[in-house]
Structure 1
Amino acid sequence: MTYGDMDSRQSVPSTAVGGLAFAASVMVMVGSFSMVAGLAAILDDDYLVVSRRYAFDLDTVAWGWIHLVLGAAFVAVGVGLFANKSWAGMIAIVLAGLIAIDYFFFIPFQPVWSLVVIALCAWVIWALTRARQEES
Structure 2
Amino acid sequence: MASNVGRTHQHRAGWEAESTWATGWTVAAAVLMTFGGIMAVFQGIAAIAEDDVFVVTQNFSYEFSLTGWGWVHLILGALVAAAGIALMRGATWARATGVALAGLSMIANFVWLPYAPVWSIVLIVIDGFIIWALCAPRRESPA
TM-score, normalization: structure 2? 0.85
- Counterpart of 2:87 (choices 51, 62, 81) is 81
- How far residue 50 of structure 1 moved from its aligned partner, in angstroms, is 2.0
* 1:1-136 → structure 2 map (5 Å cutoff): 6-8=13-15, 10-44=16-50, 46-130=52-136, 133-136=137-140
Q: How many residues align?
A: 130
Partner Cα distance (2:22, 2:97) in 1: 17
Q: Note if contact 1:45-1:60 (Cα within 8 Å) is conserved in structure 2.
A: no
Q: Cα RMSD (Å) of the superposition? A: 1.5
Q: Which is higher, the Rg of structure 1 or of structure 2?
A: 2
**Greater relative contact order (CA < 8 Å, ≥ 6 in sequence):** 1
Kindly provide the amino acid, as one letter, of the partner of residue 103 in structure 2: G
- Separation (CA, whole Å) in 2 of partners of 1:44 and 1:21: 34
Percent of matched pairs sharing the same residue: 34
Contact kept, 8 Å, 1:74 with 1:95, in 2: the verdict is yes
> Mean alpha-carbon deviation: is it higher for 13-22 or for 41-50?
41-50
Task: Give the unaligned 5+ runs of structure 1.
Answer: none
Please list every run of at least 4 consecutive aligned residues from structure 1 whose deviation after the TM superposition is greater than 4 angstroms: none
TM-score by length of 1: 0.89
Greater share of helix residues, 1 or 2?
A: 1
Tell me, yes or no, if the aligned pair for 1:5 and 1:86 is still in contact at 8 Å.
Answer: no
Structure 2 unaligned spans of 5+:
1-10
